[in-house]
Chain A
Amino acid sequence: MGKSIIDKIWEKHVVHREEGKPDLMYIDLHLVHEVTSPQAFSGLRMKNRKVRRPDKTFATVDHNIPTDNRTVINDPVALNQMTTLERNCLEFGIPLAGLDSPEQGIVHVIGPELGLTQPGMTIVCGDSHTSTHGAFGSIAFGIGTSEVEHVMATQTLWQSKPKTLKLEINGELKKGVTAKDVILYIIAKNGIGFGTGHIIEYCGETLAKMSMEERMTICNMSIEGGARAGLVSPDETTFAYLQGRKYAPEGAEFTQAVEKWKEIVSDPEAAYDKTIQIDAADIAPMVSWGTNPSMTSKVNEQIPQLEDCKNELEQKSLARALDYMGLKEGQKIEDIQIQHVFIGSCTNSRLEDLKQAAEIIRGKKIHPQVRALVVPGSQQVKKQAEDEGLHLIFKQAGFEWRESGCSMCLSMNNDIVPSGEHCASTSNRNFEGRQGSGARTHLVSPLMAAAAALYGHFVDVGALLSAEAVQ
């Protein structure tokens, strides 16, 4: 019987195994940010404990920070959280990409960008979207603050091995369909809890053709399907991305590392607890219309009818969601009016995402009722985009061009959608109040968000691109 990449990485990281206990797992990389770490540092201090491996720990500020003017932070509570992280990193010897660092950015954007994220690793962070790093063939998952403290003190975690789920995607994607649409489609089709208790391995010919950015978008939203983590076996695309990155191995060491990384790839006859097949040709540009990511439809469809619900619980959830969103059953998705557009977040704020969005709006103006933001995922992404002139395309179209951070994905800073207004957002969660109290979030791809910015409502970007190709 062959082994999957999940089995292989897991086995390599078991420090201690004892009957009746979870495995004690070694953690290769611990990423830290300002919101979920202060209580962990306090815990260490109270018991006079140290951070065991500061060299395997890396911190940045992202959740809380302003994206307009970084030199002025008006919220004293937020400021305190940022300065607390600076103080803690200094005291415990942890490298920090702070507000003034050219390496600062969303923790899940900078990990890969700096080459910290590597195949075969176990990676944790006090953030559920840590699953992003799985795109490189690592087991990467979100943890709470108690576990953050545990990793700091011991570089390990007690973990029961999750079940394994093979999710195979084959076939050709249609025009205008992106990685974001693929993962939204998967969650819409299989439900918000389909991955609970599992680590997903994404594979298949569609996946194999995808760039690292696209794979990150897919792995990022594994948690929105309930999965503990999501990953992709590393291949030439992975190795090419990593070569030359700041913290990746260099020269002969890189060649050796690649040989090691190839060993962890899933065996062809590996067994899984569950398998799901997806036909890429079924997928269209997707739009979420409800209050969790599974409440999503194709752009040319309608919002479901209450009478079509499977059971009473589902019917109640649908009624509640439509009430919150100010939408009606059976309403056409393309008729939903949009007042805000947010392009950013750990799901879709990388250079490739910004390039795609820029292609749609190049030389055009956003709809007068729309306010639109672009928030690059990191200072490096921002710089690369500016070097290519993307910021000018966005600004000329009427977008605001911001500094890097989590921004309107969770609106902990001032980037908020007002109550009752609709936002086409490239982020990952459409929960009630996520982008502000009463805010109505629609999850979409960067292409769909850019198109919505031009028209003030959703349009099928596939049809738009086809029409432009004809002209």
Chain B
Amino acid sequence: MSGFKTLQGKAAALDRANVDTDQIIPKQFLKRIEKTGFGQYLFYDWRFTKEGLPNPEFELNKEENQDAPILIANENFGCGSSREHAPWALSDYGFKVIIAPSFADIFHQNCLKNGLLPITLPAETVDYLLESAKSQPYALRVDLQNQLIEDENDFSASFSINEYWKKMLINGWDEIEITLQLEKIISDFEEKQLAVQ
């Protein structure tokens, strides 16, 4: 996985609360055994009409939101199932950052494991961003190293992120490789656990 440092790009607004992972990637697309190619099914039931044509009403189908790498969403984004197909679909579609007032726990964790940066900001700040991005093309700059978001006007906000995840994202490290270096500690733990049983 390549590392994440800064990103400048268009931001698309999806102003809906409690967007669940069943909407992000519907279950009929979970039967594949690969991690790739899920972008075409992202938000399938919202993005396409019953006839399989792009739904002009859906936010991400609007002209100004094409190729946006940043998604601005509303509260409790990613609730529901633990399917990692949700961040795979968002990444494959082209998103690299999701901004919301709150995220569901498992989805948040799954994003971090896939180089997709979830940023939590206060509800008023997200409301401002949603309004800014709703009707016209809107760009943001996200700087993970300095934990800053800015637009092309005067807007600027800092965000918090756990130092561990920040380091993992910036360096694009393989977490399993890191844990395997603690092999001795894990083995010792297992022996100790066996002894008390």
Q: Provide the residues of chain A in CB contact with B163, threshold 8 Å.
A: 20-21
Is A228's CB under 8 angstroms from B105's CB? yes
| Known interface pairs A39-B33, A128-B82, A433-B45; A292-B20 also in contact (CB < 8 Å) | yes
Q: How far is the CA of A52 from the CA of B27 in the complex (A)?
A: 30
CA–CA, A39 to B175, complex, Å?
16
Contact status A21-B164, CB under 8 Å: yes
Separation of A317 and B186 alpha carbons in the complex (Å): 47
Residue A127, interface by CB 8 Å: yes
Contact at A193–B102, with CB atoms within 8 Å?
yes
B176 touches A154 (CB 8 A): yes
From 5 to 56 in chain B, residues with beta carbon under 8 angstroms from any chain A beta carbon are: 16-18, 20, 22-23, 26-28, 30-35, 45, 50
* Interface membership of A332, Cβ < 8 A: no
The interface residues of chain B lying within 8 Å CB-to-CB of A150 are 175-176, 179
B179 engages A156 (CB within 8 Å): yes
Judge if A432 is at the interface, Cβ distance under 8 Å. yes
Given A149-B176, A160-B162, A410-B27: A126 and B22 interface contact (C-beta under 8 Å): no
Q: Given contacts A128-B82, A196-B105, are A81 and B45 in contact (CB under 8 A)?
A: no
Contact between chains at B83 and A36 (CB < 8 Å) = yes
Interface set, chain A 308-339, CB cutoff 8 A to B: 313-314, 316-317, 320
| Contact in complex: B84, A144 (CB < 8 Å) | yes
Shortest CB-to-CB span from B163 to chain A, Å, is 5
Interfacial chain A residues near B114, Cβ < 8 Å: 146
Q: How many Å from the CB of A384 to the closest CB on chain B? A: 29
Task: Tell me the nearest residue of chain B to A145, going by C-beta.
Answer: B84
Contact of A15 (CB < 8 Å), options: B84, B164, B189: B189
Closest-CB distance, B92 to chain A (whole angstroms): 13
A203 within 8 A of B: no
CA distance A412 to B29 in the complex (A): 9
**How far does the alpha carbon of A64 sit from the alpha carbon of B28 in the complex, in Å?**
10
Contact for B176 among A78, A144, A153, CB less than 8 A: A153
Q: Is the CB of B106 within 8 A of A15?
A: no
Asked if B147 is at the interface of the complex by the 8 Å CB criterion, the answer is no
Q: Is A133 an interface residue (CB 8 A)?
A: no
Q: What 1/0 flags go to B85-96 for Cβ under 8 Å of A?
A: 001000000000
Q: Bin the interface of chain A by size.
A: 35 or more
Check if A58 is an interface residue, CB within 8 A of chain B: no
Task: Report A-chain residues with C-beta under 8 Å of the C-beta of B45.
Answer: 432-433, 437
Q: Does B195 contact A (CB under 8 A)?
A: no
**Given known A-B contacts A192-B79, A412-B27, A434 and B22 have beta carbons under 8 A apart:** yes
B132 close to chain A: CB less than 8 A: no
How many chain B residues touch the partner (CB < 8 A)? 48
Kindly identify which residue among A127, A155, A292 contacts B18, using a CB–CB cutoff of 8 Å.
Answer: A292
A42 at the interface (CB under 8 A from B): yes
Cβ B81 vs Cβ A128 within 8 A: yes
A-contact 0/1 string along B53-85, CB 8 Å cutoff: 000000000000000000000111001111110
Choose one: B79, B102, B106, B180; the contact of A292 (CB below 8 Å).
Answer: B79
Query: When chains A and B are docked, how far (Å) is the Cα of A162 from the Cα of B106?
Result: 12
Q: Say yes or no: is A197 at the interface (Cβ < 8 Å to chain B).
A: yes
Q: Nearest Cβ distance between residue B33 and chain A, in whole angstroms?
A: 4
Q: How far is the CB of A419 from chain B (nearest CB, A)?
A: 8
Tell whether, in the assembled complex, residue B79 and residue A22 are in contact, meaning their CB atoms are under 8 Å apart: no
In the complex, the answer to whether A22 meets B162 with C-beta atoms within 8 Å is yes
**With A146-B114, A431-B80: A81-B102 Cβ-Cβ less than 8 Å:** no
- Chain A residues whose C-beta falls within 8 Å of the C-beta of B176 in the assembled complex: 47, 49, 149-150, 153-154
A274 sits at the interface (CB 8 A): no
A22 CA to B162 CA in the complex, in Å? 9
* Distance A49 CA – B180 CA, assembled complex (angstroms): 10
CA distance A13 to B83 in the complex (A): 25
A142 within 8 Å of B (CB atoms): yes
The verdict on A77 contacting chain B, using a C-beta distance below 8 Å, is: yes
Point out the residues of chain A lying under 8 angstroms from B32, CB to CB: 77, 81
- Contact, CB under 8 Å: A196 / B74: no
Cβ-defined contact, A158 with B20, below 8 A = no
A128 to chain B: which residues have CB within 8 Å? 80-82, 106
Asked if B161 is an interface residue, CB under 8 A from chain A, the answer is no
Contact B31 A64 (CB under 8 A): yes
Which of A15, A431, A433 is B182 in contact with, Cβ under 8 Å? A15
Partner of B80, one of A16, A149, A411, A429: A429
Residue of B nearest to A19 (CB): B163
B47 CB, min distance to chain A CBs, angstroms = 12
CB contact between B31 and one of A21, A78, A437 (< 8 Å): that residue: A78
Given contacts A15-B189, A75-B31, A81-B33, contact A127 B82 (CB under 8 A): yes
Chain A positions 204 through 235: 1 when the CB is less than 8 Å from some CB of chain B, otherwise 0: 00000000000000000001001010000000
Given contacts A128-B81, A155-B190, list 8 more A-B pairs with CB under 8 A. A24-B186, A39-B34, A77-B31, A144-B87, A162-B105, A193-B102, A429-B20, A432-B22
Task: Give 30 CB contacts A-B under 8 Å.
Answer: A20-B163, A20-B164, A26-B190, A39-B35, A39-B84, A47-B176, A64-B31, A77-B31, A81-B31, A144-B82, A144-B113, A146-B114, A149-B176, A150-B176, A155-B186, A156-B179, A193-B18, A193-B79, A193-B102, A196-B102, A197-B105, A226-B76, A226-B105, A228-B106, A292-B20, A313-B17, A410-B22, A412-B31, A432-B22, A432-B45
